[in-house]
Amino acid sequence: MQPDPLISNGTAQFNVSGTLTKNDITLDNTTLRISFADMKQVPPISDPYFKTFNKSYAAGTPFSIYVSDVSVPTLPDLYHVIVVVGDPTDDSIVIYGCAFAEIDRALVAIKF
């Protein structure tokens, strides 16, 4: 993720990689989803970012996807970044893999 830490109302880059053990990534169907959430409120603080994979990967094969145009919302002091890989449905996403990070901007600002 760049920049690190994220900058409110800026643009971020994510390089997501891993190996799915049970599910294939399918060209033009499987999706990368990046969301930002304030755990003190629901719903999420912005619409999620979506990017469809432009290459297929069989289960057990390492994958990688790079995105450089993720809009960062106004971030609260404590927020979460949720990254999901999965296949979309009519109203949701079937999750094949995910990563979750909690960021406390007050701690990030501390200089040692």
User: What's residue 23's pLDDT?
Assistant: 97
Domain residue limits, the chain? 11-108
Q: Is 39 helix (H, G, I), strand (E, B) or coil?
A: coil
User: What's residue 35's pLDDT?
Assistant: 95
Rounded Cα–Cα distance for residues 111 and 14 (Å): 25
- The pLDDT tens digits of the residues spanning 37-56 come to 987 777 778 999 999 999 99
pLDDT tier at 108, thresholds 50, 70, 90:
low
% residues pLDDT > 70 (the chain): 95
User: What's residue 105's pLDDT?
Assistant: 74
CATH of domain 11-108: 2.60.40
CB 70 within 8 A of CB 11: yes
According to DSSP, the residues that pair with 93 across neighbouring strands are: 88
Mean pLDDT of the residues in the chain = 92
- The pLDDT tens digits of the residues spanning 59-92 come to 999 999 999 999 999 999 899 999 999 999 998 8
CB 39 within 8 A of CB 80: yes
User: What's residue 109's pLDDT?
Assistant: 52
